[in-house]
Amino acid sequence: MKKLLTRLPVLCRGDSSAISGWLDEQSWRWIAFCGLTIALGSGLYGATIGLWRAELMALYVAIKFPLLIFLTTFCNALLNWMLALMIGAGITFRQTLLAQLMGFTVASLILAAVAPITLFILFNTPSLESGDTFGHSFFMLINVGILGVAGLVANGRLYRFLLLQTGNRALARKVLVAWLAGNLLVGAQLSWNLRPFIGAPHLEVQFLRPNPFEGNFYETVFRAAKRIVEEAAP
């Protein structure tokens, strides 16, 4: 365990030579350790999001947030591997899966570090009980932004590995952009299907909504942004 813990700073720095060696390992210990790190880091962040609605929601989101990451990883693994092959990266399926898992490990560490800031925002934003829809929209968009930045930084750490693997900057960038696009599109929609994460002022606390496939993530974010602009306008 101690040896695996020492890998986390190296992973966050994006040390391509070390990461490349880990991707070729046949042991499942590193994969399990990445999964545990994701569960703890993203679960902690998820709890701070759900806490804005209720203590029970904090527990629900602490469970669902790691679930969202694991589903996104496994749903995209085959797609990302095929995209890498089409682009000419020469990466195996196992390397693709583990690279994505390590990327989300870095993202989870970032989210865990940001959790105190999320709590600060939470305690300085009007609660749902006040009936303030502006606060709900603001809190949702802030967290969408945090998740976006964490994802970009985390996947950016893997750029050096892709560069080492392909030996071509343009090729490495193409693979990285393809992976980012896939994770964004699939992850965003899965987050909608697994909602609620923040909760809504007029709905009760639930683990899942009874209509998970009604509507979509992008439509909700657009409405929230529109509400903030309208209420902020003089």
For 158-217, what is each residue's pLDDT tens digit? Answer: 787 788 777 788 888 888 888 888 888 888 888 888 988 887 767 788 888 888 877 777
At 232 the pLDDT is 64
Whether 52 contacts 125, CB under 8 Å = yes
At 112 the pLDDT is 95
Average pLDDT of the chain to the nearest whole number: 83
For 103-144, what is each residue's pLDDT tens digit? Answer: 899 999 999 999 998 888 887 776 655 555 676 777 778 888
CA distance 111 to 109: 5
At 34 the pLDDT is 93
At 47 the pLDDT is 94
Is pLDDT at 150 greater than 80 in this prediction?
A: yes
Mean pLDDT of 49-68: 90
- CB burial of residue 193 (10 Å; 0-12, 13-18, 19+): middle
Is pLDDT at 35 greater than 80 in this prediction?
A: yes
Mean pLDDT of 58-66: 94
Which percentage of the chain shows pLDDT scores above 90?
A: 19
At 226 the pLDDT is 74
At 129 the pLDDT is 58
Burial 41-51 (b: 16+ CB within 10 A, else e): bbbbbbbbbbb
Q: Which residue has the higher pLDDT, 173 or 27?
A: 173
At 130 the pLDDT is 56
At 1 the pLDDT is 73
At 213 the pLDDT is 78
At 170 the pLDDT is 86
At 63 the pLDDT is 95
Sign of CA dihedral 161, 104, 75, 176: negative
Kindly report the three-state secondary structure assignment for every residue of 23-79: HCCCCCHHHHHHHHHHHHHHHHHHHHHHCCCCHHHHHHHHHHHHHHHHHHHHHHHHH
3-state secondary structure of 94: helix
Confidence grade of residue 145 (pLDDT, cut at 50, 70, 90): confident
Unique residue bearing structure tokens 């070729």: 24
At 126 the pLDDT is 67
Question: Cβ contacts of residue 137 below 8 Å, gap of 6+?
Answer: 224, 225, 227, 228
